[in-house]
Structure 1
Amino acid sequence: MGLSLTRAAQWTPASSGTGKLESTPMNESLLKEILSFAEQFGSQHPQEALHVFQEPLQWSTTLVASDFKTDYDISDSDVKSNERDSEGLPLLQLSPPTVSVRSFSQLSKLIHLAEDKKVEEVQACLEENRYPVVKILGSSVASILQGEDTDTDVLSLVDKVKDQGKDSEVKVKLFLLLQNLDNKLLSKCLEEIAGKIRLDPTAVKNEVDSLKQSSIEGEKRVLKSIRYTSDYIFSNGCRAPPWRQVHREMCYLVIEPCDTETLCVTCSTAGVFINGMGRIQTDLKNPGEAFTVNTSQGERPPNSSVT
């Protein structure tokens, strides 16, 4: 609910003051994940669910007073939760069309009450609260925790924020739960993006031409040579024989680095692979690290041997 919203989610231009989440498959996937997280939070994390937000999450809701049942004080169109903070203030208030929520406990309950409008409520909440972590934990705590290494232990994090008010341990646990959600959302986006990206003969040719130009000449060169194993180009741009193209292979390269043995490479629509090893990644921005190898079994293309 942090980086995943600002970087991964797809927003419309904020020309009218507030950007909206676009109607895209990726955004729909993100919303469903966030909905599941928020809806189950009260039952899965009861202690953290009772924590009172530093600032309320407020948005224009589709819910009305008649949607609220027990546990709420209803007066005409206004609603207040019976659940209150230490000062006696309600943790949920509805003054149509604005709803104000101050704990995950009340957020979970509201989502349950929304029934077939759950996704719409979550979307409205996110659109009108672009930085929910800051409102939930407070800007100081959020800033401190977001600046720490991901492998820092809980006790160390608690010690970092102990001067930022009470409930330091609960705040740290909340932050870690939100961070885990954020990582899950970003991973989901990357998986979806990776599933759509496919190499084609033109992209391979451009990459090879770029490598020839930037990595073979000059004092900082990292390659002695890079060449195709075949000069024949089929009408579709592939150099691999037709019986290999059915396995999504496009061409084969022989690459001679300056500091290691010669590499035989298969270029397929699924990626670029060292024959018998795994996927390689070309990084033209860092020519000194032009080739990195991932030897994971899952990275190998099927039937990748050159014939």
Structure 2
Amino acid sequence: MSAPLLAIEGLRIAYPGPGAESVEVVHGIDVTLHRGRRLALVGESGSGKSVTARAVLQLDLDARLEGSIRLDGEELVGAPSRRIRAVRGRRVGLVFQDPLAALNPVMTIGWQIMQPLLIRGVGKREARRRGTELLERLGVHNASERFDDYPHQFSGGMRQRVVIAIAVIAEPELLIADEPTTALDVRVQAQVLELLDELAEERSMSVLLITHDLGIVAGFADEVVVMRQGEVVEHADVDTLFASPRHPYTRGLLGAVPRIDADPSVRLLSVADVELAERSER
């Protein structure tokens, strides 16, 4: 297989703590993602998924990074801020988990969609044309009229489409989708995932999906990395992971997924059950 598009090696992430101390939240993880592939980073809240994804674009200015993050061979850890700014949007797009918080409430959605193109020298008329076409492609009806509306005038699902448009309008090589279906109902979740699937296929775009929903992973990802407490505990292709998970924590995550055909009298697994299983296997 060719060299990975994204290679994370020995990554440690720490934040300022009380006094002069720092608190390490990610402990030397390795993650690789090849071109055209879809990798899901899964785990419970606080496992380090989102901070790892944000470290790729160095969005947390107070985070201290150690190790290596290479994008198509280019080292990002320690790179000048101008190089990181050049990567954001153009080579790596990011879909935030809360579209309302991600969008500027006092700017029109059209202005926000056009920004990645305007920053790169595309004319305003051409940027508007591309933005309108992309919104139509993403299922926003009357896109040319809605282009000058504000975020509060859109539903949650429509706002998520706007955030996706901002992330992909510059045609990045890698799309990071951080919990892109959070707080959306099941029907809208399916629509958003279908859009991401189509865009990735059409543009040969690699996708790093951050989620705790293994149901989403099963239908979208090629590979899965399972994180717990800042460490990678398992990395496998999606079929292998669901058919024969090796780590007790992975089995616990799978066991905690509600199933329509499950016996309602059987209790779902908890983290405590997982920890007990881990101790019994040692």
Q: Which TM-score tier does this pair reach, normalised by the shorter chain?
A: under 0.3
Structure with greater strand share of residues: 2
TM-score (norm 1): 0.26
